[in-house]
């Protein structure tokens, strides 16, 4: 190649460098954020209680399913200081593990949650490099973190979560969604906010089936729409992969979007 020839932007090497910088930039961003509830919610600590109430109500509905998840073990993904572990998961599960890329947040989680025998392993690693132990979790909760994964890594991560589920286990995704059909990129924290159409495609590619979805209500105006999705292994993709758990998901899908928009990301 001569000096005059333009470099191809899509070479594997360029993609590898872009991916690495996407994650290192996010890690740098979060390293400057205070280890507080307000810090976890981008300055919107005020919405934490409403958020938790919405999640409690959603989770209670999942326990009323015909084949409900057990209460043994949950995993909090992108856990931060353990806000969701403390106020939601520890109320319903005998053991909760946390996975979070920022070591200071996990350190603070010990103080924030307090001494609790029910807190299990604290994994300090990015979700792009993490796979839950197979057949371990009744519930895997992913909130306000999946926008920090590339589409490809998100699919791989969700596939590994699927393998991490116990029978009747459920993955919950609670994320911001764009009101347009476009991905919105936040260069400051190195994240993306996806439209629901893209999220649905990625969930399908991960071999997940949505058994329930619900909009988070009562957030202040001007924030992104936030939705919760309860996901189980898709029967079809499960049938082609005998290592996965099997499900009969004859459950109704509920939806309700009244156009509100949310905090972080």
Ligand X SMILES: C[S@@+](CC[C@H](N)C(=O)[O-])C[C@H]1O[C@@H](n2cnc3c(N)ncnc32)[C@H](O)[C@@H]1O
109 binds ligand X (CB under 6 A): no
- Which token pair is 120? 């299990």
127 binds ligand X (CB under 6 A): yes
194 binds ligand X (CB under 6 A): no
Among 88, 119, 171, 264, binds ligand X (CB under 6 A): 264
CB nearer ligand X, residue 55 or residue 136:
55
Q: How far apart are CA 149 and CA 169, in angstroms?
A: 23
Q: How far apart are CA 134 and CA 241, in angstroms?
A: 14
Burial of 242 (0-12, 13-18, 19+ CB in 10 A): exposed
Burial annotation 106-120 (CB, 10 A radius, 16+ → b, else e): bebbeebbeeeeebb
Is 158 labeled as ligand-binding? no
Residue with the shortest CB distance to ligand X: 80
Among 55, 73, 74, 83, binds ligand X (CB under 6 A): 83
100 binds ligand X (CB under 6 A): yes
Is 127 labeled as ligand-binding? yes
Tell me which residue has tokens 């393998």: 163
Q: What Cα–Cα distance (Å) separates residue 128 from each residue in 83, 123, 187?
A: 21, 13, 19
CB nearer ligand X, residue 145 or residue 203:
145
Please state the residue numbers annotated as binding site for S-adenosyl-L-methionine: 78, 83, 127-128, 143
State the residues that interact with ligand X by CB under 6 A: 23, 26, 30, 40, 78-80, 83-84, 100-102, 105, 126-128, 143-145, 148, 264
């Amino acid at each position: 190649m001569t000096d005059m020839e333009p470099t191809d932007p899509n070479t594997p090497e360029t993609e590898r460098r872009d991916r690495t910088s996407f994650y290192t930039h996010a890690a740098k961003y979060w390293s400057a954020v205070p280890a507080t509830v307000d810090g976890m919610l981008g300055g919107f600590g005020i919405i934490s209680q409403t958020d938790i109430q919405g999640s409690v109500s959603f989770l209670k509905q999942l326990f009323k399913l015909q084949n409900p998840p057990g209460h043994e073990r949950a995993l909090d993904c992108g856990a931060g200081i353990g806000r969701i572990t403390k106020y939601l998961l520890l109320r319903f599960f005998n053991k909760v593990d946390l996975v979070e890329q920022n070591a200071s947040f996990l350190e603070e989680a010990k103080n924030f949650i307090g001494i609790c025998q029910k807190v299990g392993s604290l994994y300090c690693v990015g979700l792009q490099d993490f796979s839950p132990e197979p057949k371990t979790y009744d519930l895997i909760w992913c909130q306000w973190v999946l926008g920090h994964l590339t589409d490809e890594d998100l699919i791989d991560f969700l596939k590994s979560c699927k393998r991490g589920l116990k029978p009747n286990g459920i993955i919950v995704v609670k994320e911001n969604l764009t009101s347009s059909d476009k991905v919105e990129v936040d260069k400051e924290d190195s994240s993306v906010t996806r439209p629901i159409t893209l999220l649905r495609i990625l969930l399908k590619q991960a071999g997940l089936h949505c058994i329930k979805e619900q909009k988070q209500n009562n957030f202040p105006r001007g924030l992104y729409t936030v939705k919760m999705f309860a996901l189980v292994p898709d029967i079809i993709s499960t049938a082609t992969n005998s290592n996965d758990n099997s499900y009969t998901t004859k459950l109704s899908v509920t939806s309700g979007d009244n156009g509100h928009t949310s905090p972080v990301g």
